[in-house]
């Protein structure tokens, strides 16, 4: 077994964190029990690029339990928890990741996963799949993608006829979008914002850029904490939805005048640019919840600044010419995972997302040969199964449709 991690002696601390996560991921525990009986991934090599932290470790160990050999790299150079990486190596997972790895090492680690010749892959953001394609696909049968940005990239590859194997867009399943993107990112982003800066949210003017699944959750939870929330959108339907949800909807230019905290969640490029940075007030805090560190134009921020220093861990002060100070969290990378003290999504959320991943991978193990290269939906029965398991384990009972109701819904004759 090969691996590259910071320090194997950190393993006991990592093991404790993984055990804590495992205790709080009951849906995946059910799947793990089933996997250890039926071994659906026996003989398969799974290569993954995910945030290397405790919840991911529970997924990796579930796949091992299902019979897979697992290789794991990070999907962000800052989100790896070194103690978890060490613990996973001790459990027999080939991990190639450490916190703070350089851009070069980040890609070298993806290539190490590829060198282990995976049959199936799990990606988060599309870097592993894109790297694989630059090497010809390398015999991969299929894959799963965890996030919106990754699915966007896959669709671009598909549209150009360049995607060489089937990939299940786990991100796009209703369960994932609703619970992970919306509720999970909201809680973890605000948690990170508060713990990195120790600032109060209540009473603050918070500007959320993007009102998709992620932005919607952040805006509503920030309001729940007492913030006065402005939403910035480019899509007219989503802008209208935000307005009807009771948010102030303005252009970014308008919002810059008095915004105190800016959170980007668009999955797009340079949404906060030089002209916005110039207009912001002294002391404004900037952070990003989108997948890549491209939503805030960091080059412009550097260009406008005459001095920068780290005032707290993961909180950088940029002093602009003229004396105004702007604060950037976690280097503009996704703040809920990239800060040293960021914890990522709640365990209960990743229990659902990773249950979808495990079951989608099981589906691919049996069906990849029959699927065309391209982006595929999560089979609806998998989505339903994860939601039903979660309800059952939470002691929540569903109402059952009566036969009469089923008949009524199937028919078209009965009107007023
Ligand atoms: N931080 C995390 O843990 C986490 C979790 C899930 C998803 N993500 C990432 O968050 C990003 C958003 O995901 P999503 O599922 O909400 O996507 P989405 O497509 O549902 O929403 C994005 C929204 O941003 C809007 N938008 C695009 N450009 C804009 C601009 N210049 N100004 C204002 N609004 C703009 C779009 O109209 C859309 O409504 C993606 O990069 C995704 O990968 C991060």
Question: What is the predicted pLDDT for the residue at 84?
Answer: 98
Same domain, yes or no, for 65 and 89?
yes
* Sequence-ordered list of residues with C-beta below 8 angstroms from that of 3, at least 6 positions apart, any chain: 89, 94, 95, 96
209 C-beta closer than 6 A to ligand 1 = yes
Same domain, yes or no, for 158 and 39?
yes
List the chain pLDDT tens, one digit each, 416 residues.
899 999 999 999 999 999 999 999 999 999 999 999 999 999 999 999 999 999 999 999 999 999 999 999 999 999 999 999 999 999 999 999 999 999 999 999 999 999 999 999 999 999 999 999 998 767 999 999 999 999 999 999 999 999 999 999 999 999 999 899 999 999 999 999 999 999 999 999 999 999 999 999 999 999 999 999 999 999 999 999 999 999 999 999 999 999 999 999 999 999 999 999 999 999 999 999 999 999 999 999 999 999 999 999 999 999 999 999 999 999 999 999 999 889 999 999 999 999 999 999 999 999 999 999 999 999 999 999 999 999 999 999 999 999 999 999 999 988 88
169 C-beta closer than 6 A to ligand 1 = no
Structural domain ending residue among the three candidates 338, 357, 374: 338
Identify the DSSP state of 258.
T
Euclidean distance between CA atoms 58 and 137, whole angstroms: 27
Centre of ligand 1 from the C-alpha of residue 273, in Å: 17
Please answer whether residues 188 and 342 qualify as being in contact, where contact means their C-beta atoms are separated by less than 8 angstroms. Answer: yes
Same domain, yes or no, for 58 and 105?
yes
**Number of domain units in the chain:** 2
Centre of ligand 1 from the C-alpha of residue 227, in Å: 21
Question: What is the predicted pLDDT for the residue at 30?
Answer: 97
Same domain, yes or no, for 208 and 75?
no
Measuring from atom 27 of ligand 1, which residue has the nearest CA?
266
Residue to mutate (ligand 1; options 210, 243, 345; most atoms within 8 A of CB): 210
Centre of ligand 1 from the C-alpha of residue 389, in Å: 28
Please answer whether residues 77 and 103 qualify as being in contact, where contact means their C-beta atoms are separated by less than 8 angstroms. Answer: yes
286: left (phi over 0), alpha (psi -120 to 50) or beta: beta
214 C-beta closer than 6 A to ligand 1 = yes
Same domain, yes or no, for 363 and 304?
no
Question: What is the predicted pLDDT for the residue at 137?
Answer: 65
Residue 404 lies in a domain: no
Q: What CATH code is carried by the domain that includes residue 268?
A: 3.40.50.720
210 C-beta closer than 6 A to ligand 1 = yes
Q: Tell me phi and psi for residue 214, to 5 degrees.
A: -70, -50
Euclidean distance between CA atoms 45 and 61, whole angstroms: 13
Euclidean distance between CA atoms 180 and 354, whole angstroms: 10
Task: Transcribe 99-161 into DSSP letters.
Answer: TT--HHHHHHHHHHHHHT--SEEEESSSHHHHHHHHTT-TT--EEEE-SHHHHHHHHHHHHTT
Euclidean distance between CA atoms 221 and 247, whole angstroms: 12
Centre of ligand 1 from the C-alpha of residue 216, in Å: 10
Three-point CA angle 240, 242, 245, nearest 5° = 110
Please answer whether residues 328 and 272 qualify as being in contact, where contact means their C-beta atoms are separated by less than 8 angstroms. Answer: no
The residue with tokens 């040293």 is: 340
Residue 259 lies in a domain: yes
**Helix or strand (DSSP H, E) at 219:** helix 213-224
Q: What CATH code is carried by the domain that includes residue 81?
A: 3.40.50.1480
287 C-beta closer than 6 A to ligand 1 = no
Please report the atom of ligand 1 found closest to the CA of residue 209. Answer: 33
* Sequence-ordered list of residues with C-beta below 8 angstroms from that of 169, at least 6 positions apart, any chain: 145, 151, 154, 375, 376, 377, 378
In 3-state terms, what secondary structure has residue 84? helix
Please answer whether residues 32 and 65 qualify as being in contact, where contact means their C-beta atoms are separated by less than 8 angstroms. Answer: yes
Question: What is the predicted pLDDT for the residue at 1?
Answer: 82
Q: How many Cα atoms occupy the beta-carbon half-sphere of 391 within 13 Å?
A: 11
Lookup: tokens for 142: 């299929």
Same domain, yes or no, for 30 and 145?
yes
Residue to mutate (ligand 1; options 175, 267, 343; most atoms within 8 A of CB): 267
Please report the atom of ligand 1 found closest to the CA of residue 266. Answer: 24
Q: How many CB atoms lie within 10 A of CB 344?
A: 25
232 C-beta closer than 6 A to ligand 1 = yes
Same domain, yes or no, for 317 and 189?
yes
18: left (phi over 0), alpha (psi -120 to 50) or beta: alpha
Please report the atom of ligand 1 found closest to the CA of residue 149. Answer: 43
Residue to mutate (ligand 1; options 49, 147, 232, 343; most atoms within 8 A of CB): 147
Instruction: List strands edge to edge, sheet with 325-329.
Output: 248-249, 228-232, 205-209, 261-264, 285-288, 325-329, 315-320, 305-312
Residue 90 lies in a domain: yes
Please answer whether residues 170 and 150 qualify as being in contact, where contact means their C-beta atoms are separated by less than 8 angstroms. Answer: no
367 C-beta closer than 6 A to ligand 1 = no
Please answer whether residues 193 and 341 qualify as being in contact, where contact means their C-beta atoms are separated by less than 8 angstroms. Answer: no
Same domain, yes or no, for 205 and 152?
no
Measuring from atom 35 of ligand 1, which residue has the nearest CA?
210
pTM > 0.85: yes
Residue 123 lies in a domain: yes
235 C-beta closer than 6 A to ligand 1 = yes
Residue 215 lies in a domain: yes
Same domain, yes or no, for 93 and 217?
no
157 C-beta closer than 6 A to ligand 1 = no
Domain range holding 91? 8-176+345-393
Centre of ligand 1 from the C-alpha of residue 253, in Å: 19
Euclidean distance between CA atoms 330 and 338, whole angstroms: 6
211 C-beta closer than 6 A to ligand 1 = yes
């Amino acid at each position: 077994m090969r691996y590259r991690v910071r320090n194997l002696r950190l393993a006991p601390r990592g093991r404790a964190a993984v055990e804590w996560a495992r205790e709080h991921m009951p849906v995946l525990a059910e799947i793990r029990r089933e996997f250890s009986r039926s071994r659906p991934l026996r003989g398969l090599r799974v290569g993954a690029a995910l945030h290397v932290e405790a919840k991911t470790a529970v997924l990796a160990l579930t796949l091992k339990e299902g019979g897979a050999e697992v290789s794991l790299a990070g999907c962000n150079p800052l989100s790896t928890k070194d103690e978890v990486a060490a613990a996973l190596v001790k459990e027999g997972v080939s991990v190639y990741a450490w916190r703070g790895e350089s851009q070069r090492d980040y890609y070298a680690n993806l290539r190490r996963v590829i060198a282990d010749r995976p049959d199936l892959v799990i990606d988060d953001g599309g870097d592993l799949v894109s790297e694989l394609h630059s090497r010809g696909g390398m015999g991969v049968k299929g894959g799963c993608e965890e996030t919106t940005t990754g699915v966007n990239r896959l669709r671009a590859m598909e549209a150009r006829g360049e995607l060489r194997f089937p990939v299940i867009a786990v991100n796009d399943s209703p369960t994932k979008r609703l619970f992970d993107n919306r509720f999970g990112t909201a809680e973890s982003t605000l948690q990170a914002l508060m713990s990195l800066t120790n600032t109060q949210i209540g009473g603050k003017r918070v500007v959320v850029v993007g009102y998709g699944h992620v932005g919607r959750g952040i805006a509503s939870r920030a309001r729940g904490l007492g913030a006065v929330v402005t939403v910035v959108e480019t899509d007219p339907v989503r802008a209208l939805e935000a307005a009807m949800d009771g948010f102030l909807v303005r252009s970014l230019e308008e919002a810059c005048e008095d915004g105190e905290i800016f959170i980007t969640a668009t999955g797009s490029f340079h949404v906060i640019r030089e002209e916005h940075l110039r207009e912001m007030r002294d002391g404004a805090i900037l952070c990003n919840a989108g997948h890549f560190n491209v939503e805030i134009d960091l080059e412009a921020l550097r260009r406008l600044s005459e001095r920068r220093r780290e005032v707290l861990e993961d909180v950088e002060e940029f002093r602009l010419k003229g004396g105004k100070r702007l604060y950037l969290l976690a280097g503009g990378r996704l703040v809920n995972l990239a800060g040293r003290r960021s914890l990522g999504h709640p365990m209960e959320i990743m229990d659902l997302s990773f249950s979808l991943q495990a079951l989608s991978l099981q589906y691919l193990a049996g069906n990849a040969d029959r699927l065309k290269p391209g982006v595929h939906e999560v089979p609806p029965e998998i989505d339903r199964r994860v939601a039903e398991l979660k309800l059952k384990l939470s002691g929540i009972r569903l109402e059952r449709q009566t036969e009469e109701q089923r008949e009524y819904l199937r028919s078209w004759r009965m009107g007023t």
